[in-house]
Amino acid sequence: MEKLQKLLVALILLSTLSCSQDILDKEPLSSFSAQGFYKTTSDAQAGVYGIYESLQSNYRINFAYWGEGRADAVETNHSGDPLLLKQNSLNKTMSSAQWNSLYQTISRANYAIKYVPEVSESEFGMRLVGEARALRALSYFYAVRIWGDVPLITEPYESVEQELFVERTDKELVLDQIVEDLKFAAENCNTNFGGERDRVLITQGGANALLTQVYMWRKDYQNASSTADLVLDNSLYSLVSMADWSKIFTTGYSNESIFEVGYNDVQTNALRVLYALGSDSDYLPSQKFRNSFEDGDLRQTKIYDTTAAEPRKIWKYFGEGFNDESPDPSSNNIVLVRLADIMLLKAEALNELGQTTDALDLLNVIRNRAGLENLDEAGAIAAYGDVQAAILHERAIELSYEGHRWFDLVRTGKAIQVMQPISGLSDEANLVWPIHEDALNRNPNLDQNSFYQ
């Protein structure tokens, strides 16, 4: 995509952004002396852009394995991780059990957080540190949701005097650090950058949106509602029309997008292989998911091939009617956070706080866009059992295949209830992933998650 390629070049290569010309040719910041790298503000910006670059490998396929592969909206005919996840047969050698790429991002962020202030203590420097801390928080947020307790490393490794074999830290302490990092980012990041950069760089709105997700994970509904308000009141974000809904994913950079990982023809992802090959994609829409749409939902034909008796194509990221069987990598962006997500999280928080009418008002904004009628409390109970279930159903449709469904089931305590008939999930200790054997072999102070011992 020419537009995306230009943006990535602008972010990483062009001198107009004071970025080192060869940032992507440099070794990862974790493998050389940062004292020798961080000398100028251009170096500082290049270092932070290097953190963004590392996100491309983190989420190119794992955003779906982690967020959708164990949930109820997908089926698979593939072996390997797709089948292991769907059958709940996780093991310590599967690729999605690796945390290496997340810790590479964390390492790069740690160097930037330490050394950028030595180059610039100005507002510009604090902005860069804010972005680095938000990206570190994002990585740790995935880590604690996937593995539970994980090693918490907040300093770059630079000396043999430092502990190399770091033990796991209680997940609540890791979440405390995530909140601290995101609060700093919300105070120090730019309010906006202008144009497409507002969607692929962390802004104050992006930090507040991530805080909303974290607070909801912790069931801190009051704080979640407050940070969600900051996002909903932010003029950078607005819902797109239903006519433009597919463009959120096919084109990227929409007004609804809060943070997306940028890709281009060189830095690619696996969206096509995950969802859109048709005859041989990793995932197919499950029968349960296909049956869950209300009559008249305008999103259904935009999400998967409704013309086939046994649909095999999830074309949400490529557009209705997509019919390209090429296994080539994709250059589409991956949208990690968008406004509809935060609106529905706020609706959920309000319902938990007893403000059901306000919760339904937000839910109905999303429903109305999809061509559906308003739900009142009685209608929500009649259709879904209660208001919370109606909101979760709306999230399952609106945010389908975006990497949210498994985490929604876990944080609401519904994973076993929903997945036991499908995958046999029955033990809360099984909600986390196993730690990969490579990590265990390299670090004698790590112990395997109890379910997999």
Q: In the predicted model, is pLDDT for residue 172 greater than 70?
A: yes
Residue 278 pLDDT: 65
Q: What distance in Å separates the CA atoms of residue 199 and residue 252, rounded to the nearest whole number?
A: 8
Chain centroid to Cα 84, Å, comes to 21
Span 363-375, average pLDDT = 98
All residues at 6 or more sequence positions from 121 whose CB lies less than 8 Å from its CB, including other chains: none
pLDDT band at 33 (very low <50, low <70, confident <90, very high): low
The H or E element containing residue 284 is strand 284-285
All residues at 6 or more sequence positions from 416 whose CB lies less than 8 Å from its CB, including other chains: 425, 426, 427, 428
Average pLDDT, the chain: 91
Q: Which of 36-50, 168-182, 400-414 has the lowest mean pLDDT?
A: 36-50
* 187 or 6, higher pLDDT: 187
Q: What distance in Å separates the CA atoms of residue 190 and residue 285, rounded to the nearest whole number?
A: 39
Q: What is the pLDDT of residues 200-221, one digit of tens each?
A: 999 999 999 999 999 999 999 9
pLDDT band at 36 (very low <50, low <70, confident <90, very high): confident
All residues at 6 or more sequence positions from 292 whose CB lies less than 8 Å from its CB, including other chains: 393, 396, 397
* 184 or 121, higher pLDDT: 184
Closest CA to 92 of 439, 435, 443: 435
Q: What is the pLDDT of residues 68-119, one digit of tens each?
A: 999 999 999 999 999 999 999 999 999 999 999 999 999 999 999 999 999 9
Are 380 and 374 in contact by the 8 Å Cβ rule? The answer is no
Q: In the predicted model, is pLDDT for residue 2 greater than 50?
A: no
Q: What is the pLDDT of residues 319-361, one digit of tens each?
A: 998 887 777 889 999 999 999 999 999 999 999 999 999 999 9
Q: What is the pLDDT of residues 247-282, one digit of tens each?
A: 999 999 999 999 999 999 889 999 999 998 866 899
Closest CA to 210 of 309, 342, 73: 342
Span 282-290, average pLDDT = 96
All residues at 6 or more sequence positions from 58 whose CB lies less than 8 Å from its CB, including other chains: 101, 102, 105, 139, 142, 261
Q: In the predicted model, is pLDDT for residue 32 greater than 80?
A: no
Q: In the predicted model, is pLDDT for residue 22 greater than 70?
A: no
Please write down the long-range contacts of 167-171, taking CB distance under 8 Å and 24 or more positions apart.
Answer: 167/445, 167/446, 168/446, 168/447, 171/144
Q: Are strands 74-75 and 284-285 parallel, antiparallel or unpaired?
A: antiparallel
Q: What distance in Å separates the CA atoms of residue 55 and residue 105, rounded to the nearest whole number?
A: 7
Q: What distance in Å separates the CA atoms of residue 285 and residue 278, rounded to the nearest whole number?
A: 11
> What is the torsion angle, in degrees rounded to the nearest 10, for the CA atoms of residue 332, residue 333, residue 337 and residue 341?
-10
Q: What distance in Å separates the CA atoms of residue 87 and residue 444, rounded to the nearest whole number?
A: 30
pTM over 0.85: yes
> What is the torsion angle, in degrees rounded to the nearest 10, for the CA atoms of residue 413, residue 419, residue 425 and residue 426?
50
Residue 101 tokens, joined: 């790429």
Q: In the predicted model, is pLDDT for residue 43 greater than 70?
A: yes
Span 372-388, average pLDDT = 98
* 21 or 86, higher pLDDT: 86
pLDDT band at 162 (very low <50, low <70, confident <90, very high): confident
